[in-house]
């Protein structure tokens, strides 16, 4: 996304003339709409829209973005998220010992595939510190147990706030985030779960899938909430398996899915393409 663009996400009760009023507001200020997409939930009567436009006056574009948010709220009764295309989010990566999503995510940031900056790594194990040092990313080892969970999570939150993090991504971080952690953090958290949720939530999903004899396995990227593996789903994918595949085969095939699904979810979030409502998401892809 080029720096001069303004990106807006709108959501609220549907009403006649929303598209015309929004586009008219931009036109009256000399803006040029580059892309617009909308969706209506027919069951809930909720309207969603994503717009990208180039403001006529780049020098006052930030002020115009704030004015647009006020217009959406006061004149339209809509919730609005407005961002500038040149703004880059700071991202923190959480990991335990499993490293496939860890490496894949870092390399995608380094290649410029993801519109943000990976500023720190937090882990409950020291194992991947040498790898993080080779990548040149600060690595914070914060051991966590039942006895010290509150203190460890408080230390994690401090690192995240001190680093100015806007988004946390869990690259197979094998710990359950507490409600207190999420409340103190006040930032979105994206998790990759190694099953096609809501099937096989919780631990050892590949073993659960093998025992059940499924013919499809999947991976799910979702926003983390206090309820384990029940947050709004962003992206999913599946691959076929058969009676000929053992657990190791399921893990190998599933890890390929995990990397791709996780990366796509992070990409959509950083490009301001996701709206959350009723524990679901609208993704403008």
Q: Which residue has the tokens 């958290």?
A: 189
- C-alpha 76/C-alpha 70 separation (Å) is 9
Catalytic entry in 41, 127, 227, 229: 229
- Compute the residue count for the chain: 285
First-to-last C-alpha distance (Å) of the chain: 14
Q: Exposed/middle/buried for 9, CB within 10 Å: 0-12, 13-18, 19+?
A: buried
Strand partners for 222: 191, 233
Cβ atoms of 245 and 214 within 8 Å: the answer is no
Yes or no: say if 151 and 123 are a contact pair by the CB < 8 Å rule.
no
C-alpha torsion angle, residues 170, 173, 175, 179 (rounded to 10): -10
What's the alpha-carbon Rg for the chain, to the nearest Å? Answer: 21
Q: Is 229 a catalytic residue?
A: yes
DSSP output for 48-74: EEEEEEE-S-GGGHHHHHHHHHHHHHH
Neighbours of 156 (CB within 10 A): 23
Q: Which helix (H) or strand (E) holds 237?
A: strand 233-240
Per residue, the 3-state secondary structure of 9-20, as one string, reads: EEEEECCCCHHH
Active-site annotation, residues: 229
């Amino acid at each position: 996304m080029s720096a001069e663009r303004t990106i807006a996400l709108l959501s609220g009760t549907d009403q006649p003339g929303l598209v015309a009023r929004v586009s008219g507001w931009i036109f009256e200020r000399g803006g040029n709409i580059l892309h617009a997409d909308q969706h209506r939930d027919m069951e809930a009567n909720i309207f969603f829209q994503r717009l990208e436009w180039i403001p006529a006056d780049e020098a006052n574009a930030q002020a115009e973005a704030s004015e647009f948010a006020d217009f959406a709220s006061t004149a339209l009764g809509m919730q609005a998220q407005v961002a500038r295309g040149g703004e880059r989010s700071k991202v923190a990566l959480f990991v335990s010992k499993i490293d496939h999503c860890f490496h894949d995510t870092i390399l995608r940031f380094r290649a410029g595939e993801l519109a943000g900056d990976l500023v720190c790594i937090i882990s409950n194990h020291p194992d991947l510190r040498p790898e993080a040092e080779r990548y040149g990313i600060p690595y914070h080892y914060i051991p966590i147990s039942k006895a010290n969970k509150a203190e460890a999570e408080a230390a994690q939150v401090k690192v995240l706030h001190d680093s100015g993090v806007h988004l946390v991504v869990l690259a197979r971080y094998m710990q359950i985030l507490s409600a207190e952690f999420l409340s103190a953090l006040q930032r979105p958290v994206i998790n990759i779960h190694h099953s096609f949720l809501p099937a096989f939530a919780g631990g050892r999903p590949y073993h659960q899938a093998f025992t059940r004899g499924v013919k499809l396995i999947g991976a799910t990227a979702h926003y983390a909430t206090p309820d384990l593996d029940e947050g709004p789903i962003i992206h999913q994918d599946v691959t076929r398996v058969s009676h000929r595949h053992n657990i190791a085969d399921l893990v190998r095939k599933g890890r390929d899915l995990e990397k791709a699904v996780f990366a796509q979810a992070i990409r959509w979030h950083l490009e301001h393409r996701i709206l959350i409502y009723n524990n679901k998401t609208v993704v403008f892809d």
